[in-house]
């Protein structure tokens, strides 16, 4: 949540104020009567639970039966965040991404100053619901105050509980939030709730995500999950309701504690969701943090307007990208990547091909010609060279990386062509190629898209000559009279320059 400096400042005062903390918490809970929400209007209901700085790979080792029950009942998608210069792995960008359903290059929050925020254009989901479904009964409870003061989460809520964990400590306030949310679920008829717990981040900073104390804190917050789930199931009207519960986090933590940077452990995040239509036991590789909002909307039956510009998709919708079904290997030459991490392959999906006739010899084996890789495998090759900015790729993507290839003796130049399957365009006048890309330009490097009809000579339809930082792309070409098939080629050439990423390739016709 807060920057390391101010967070540690807060922590240093915690012991000294321990006595007054308990009093303050008691006073706060006495002073704050449970608000009365408007009566709910929906049988489809959603509870979003945010846990700050929760390293998902530590849940297994924790006494967390309720989170683990959700994993077996629901869909659990882990992924990595951006890093600088797109945004820090800190709470401002993380909760903004969760609440708005867009990446930091849209919502504008790059760090905990919130400078540049664009919530007017990309509002939080409660604010959006207040616009399009004002009859829904909504509630938000947070104890990291900026989520209210900066307008990240609470605007649009019919009732809210805002506590100041930085001032008073999070332990008591987290408990107050759990208790009030439990009371509202038990005694009222809310439709949508956002509930936040912050102490996981405090313990992460203080004792590290590798500590027993961190596991103990996961166990504490797991009991809150259990109470809220039990309150839902105990509702007299539960049998006629359709509840979705989502747990997500804003960033990871180093084993020794701390976040904000580009280490894999700081970038770790997840979405865990249970509810109608959400597959049990699923572990998709194509989930990303922007998927919380589309999942909420889908479960509520709220259609997403393309004009909202959301970056996510509901967690229950699986990718049809053939790259995501490839079998991946562990490292060969890349000794900086842990030997357990899968991974990469040079074998394209059925119908695809890679032409390396003009490719130089030697170099780092993983990057000799187009490779199909995961975010973790590729971005572990070298930090802070923008590989972390590949936010609009999902699961496995294709990469041509002349920079990494050149890290071992080689001859010649990097020259590799990725060829799509042939697509039937019989009787069509236009063919369209859609994909997402991350392209980093340098020197005489070239990135070209070529089109071929009926297996004929490829012709150039687009060249990239400047950076494209994780953006959707489309190319539309005229189909010659009489042509029956089209394919596209991605040709990358370079000599120890940067890289080109391609993902989510779709070909259509009109």
Closest CA to 394 of 238, 246, 288: 288
- From the list 26-34, 201-209, 462-470, 494-502, the region that binds Zn ion by CB under 5 A is 201-209
Residue number with CB closer to Zn ion (158 or 201):
201
Residue number with CB closer to Zn ion (11 or 282):
11
Instruction: Please count the other Cβ atoms lying within 10 Å of the Cβ belonging to residue 54.
Output: 29
- Residue 50 has, within 13 A of its CA and on its CB side, a CA count of 28
Q: Could you say whether residue 1 binds Zn ion (CB under 5 A)? A: yes
- From the list 185-193, 195-203, 449-457, 495-503, the region that binds Zn ion by CB under 5 A is 195-203
Residue number with CB closer to Zn ion (93 or 312):
93
Could you tell me where the beta strands, DSSP code E, fall in 313-402? 344-345, 353-355, 361-362, 371-374, 396-401
- Rg of the chain over CA atoms, in angstroms? 24
Q: How far is the CB of 384 from Zn ion (least distance, A)?
A: 20
Q: How far is the CB of 4 from Zn ion (least distance, A)?
A: 7
Binds Zn ion by CB under 5 A, chosen from 111, 158, 180, 201: 201
Residue number with CB closer to Zn ion (1 or 126):
1
- How is residue 121 written in tokens? 């254009």
Q: How far is the CB of 104 from Zn ion (least distance, A)?
A: 17
- How is residue 392 written in tokens? 């609009």
Size of the site for Zn ion (CB under 5 A): 2
Residue number with CB closer to Zn ion (75 or 152):
152
Closest CA to 101 of 83, 119, 88, 115: 119
Q: How far is the CB of 89 from Zn ion (least distance, A)?
A: 9
Q: How far is the CB of 306 from Zn ion (least distance, A)?
A: 34
Per the document, the length of the chain is 510
Q: Could you say whether residue 111 binds Zn ion (CB under 5 A)? A: no
Q: How far is the CB of 228 from Zn ion (least distance, A)?
A: 23
Residue number with CB closer to Zn ion (53 or 348):
53
Question: If DSSP codes are grouped into helix, strand and coil, which group holds residue 316?
Answer: coil
- From the list 24-32, 200-208, 415-423, 438-446, the region that binds Zn ion by CB under 5 A is 200-208
The single residue listed with the structure tokens 């049809």 is 320
- How is residue 83 written in tokens? 């890093």
Closest CA to 225 of 160, 274, 154, 189: 274
Closest CA to 283 of 397, 436, 398, 395: 395
Residue number with CB closer to Zn ion (1 or 193):
1
Q: How far is the CB of 211 from Zn ion (least distance, A)?
A: 15
- From the list 124-132, 196-204, 336-344, 464-472, the region that binds Zn ion by CB under 5 A is 196-204
Residue number with CB closer to Zn ion (253 or 368):
253
Nearest-CB residue to Zn ion? Answer: 201
Residue 207: φ, ψ to 5°: -125, -5
Q: How far is the CB of 330 from Zn ion (least distance, A)?
A: 32
SS (H, E, C) 283-312: CCCCCCHHHHHHHHHHHHCCCCCHHHCCCC
- Residue 253 has, within 13 A of its CA and on its CB side, a CA count of 30
Q: Could you say whether residue 366 binds Zn ion (CB under 5 A)? A: no
Q: How far is the CB of 101 from Zn ion (least distance, A)?
A: 22
Q: Could you say whether residue 185 binds Zn ion (CB under 5 A)? A: no
Residue number with CB closer to Zn ion (148 or 366):
148
DSSP 480: P
- Can you give the binding site for Zn ion, defined by CB under 5 A? 1, 201
């Amino acid at each position: 949540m807060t920057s390391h400096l101010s967070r540690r400042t807060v922590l240093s005062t915690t012991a000294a104020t321990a006595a007054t903390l308990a009093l303050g918490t008691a006073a706060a809970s006495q002073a704050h009567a449970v608000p009365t929400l408007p009566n709910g209007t929906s049988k489809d209901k959603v509870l979003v639970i945010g846990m700050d700085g929760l390293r998902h790979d530590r849940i297994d080792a924790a006494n967390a039966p309720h989170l683990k029950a959700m994993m077996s009942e629901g869909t659990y998608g882990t992924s990595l965040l951006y890093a600088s210069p797109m945004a820090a792995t800190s709470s401002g960008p993380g909760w903004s991404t969760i609440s708005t359903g867009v990446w930091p290059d849209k919502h504008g929050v790059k760090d905990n100053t919130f400078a540049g925020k664009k919530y007017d254009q990309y509002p939080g989901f409660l604010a959006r619901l207040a616009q399009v479904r004002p009859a829904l009964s909504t509630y938000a409870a947070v104890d990291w105050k900026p989520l209210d003061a900066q307008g990240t989460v609470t605007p649009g809520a019919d009732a809210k509980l805002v506590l100041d964990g930085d001032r008073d400590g999070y332990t008591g306030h987290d408990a107050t939030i759990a208790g009030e949310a439990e009371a509202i679920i038990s005694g009222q008829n809310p439709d949508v709730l956002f509930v936040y717990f912050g102490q996981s981040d405090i313990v992460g900073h203080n004792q590290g995500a590798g500590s027993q104390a961190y596991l103990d804190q996961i166990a504490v917050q797991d009991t809150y999950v259990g109470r809220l789930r039990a309150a839902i199931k105990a509702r007299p009207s539960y049998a006629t309701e359709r509840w979705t519960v989502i747990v997500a986090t804003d960033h990871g933590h180093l084993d020794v504690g701390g976040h904000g940077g580009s280490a894999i452990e700081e970038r770790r995040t997840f979405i865990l969701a249970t509810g109608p239509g959400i597959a049990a036991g699923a572990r998709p590789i194509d989930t990303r943090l922007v998927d919380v909002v589309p999942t909420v909307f889908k479960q509520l039956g709220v259609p997403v307007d393309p004009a909202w510009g959301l970056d996510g998709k509901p967690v229950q919708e699986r990718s049809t990208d053939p790259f995501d079904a490839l079998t991946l290997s562990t490292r060969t030459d890349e000794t900086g990547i842990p030997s357990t991490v899968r991974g990469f392959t040079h074998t394209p999906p059925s119908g695809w091909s890679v032409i390396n006739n003009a490719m130089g010899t030697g170099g780092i084996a993983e990057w000799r010609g187009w490779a199909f890789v995961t975010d973790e495998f590729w971005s572990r090759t070298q930090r802070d060279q923008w590989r972390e900015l590949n936010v609009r790729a999902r699961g496995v993507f294709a990469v041509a990386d002349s920079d990494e290839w050149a890290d071992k003796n080689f001859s010649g130049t990097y020259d590799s062509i990725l060829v799509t399957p042939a697509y039937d365009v019989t009787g069509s006048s236009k063919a369209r190629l859609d994909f997402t890309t991350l392209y980093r330009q340098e020197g005489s490097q070239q990135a070209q898209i070529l089109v071929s009809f009926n297996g004929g000579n490829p012709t150039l339809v687009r060249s990239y000559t400047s950076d494209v930082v994780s953006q959707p792309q489309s190319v539309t070409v005229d189909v010659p009279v009489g042509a029956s098939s089209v394919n596209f080629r991605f040709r990358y050439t370079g000599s120890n320059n940067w890289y080109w990423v391609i993902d989510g390739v779709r070909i259509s016709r009109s």
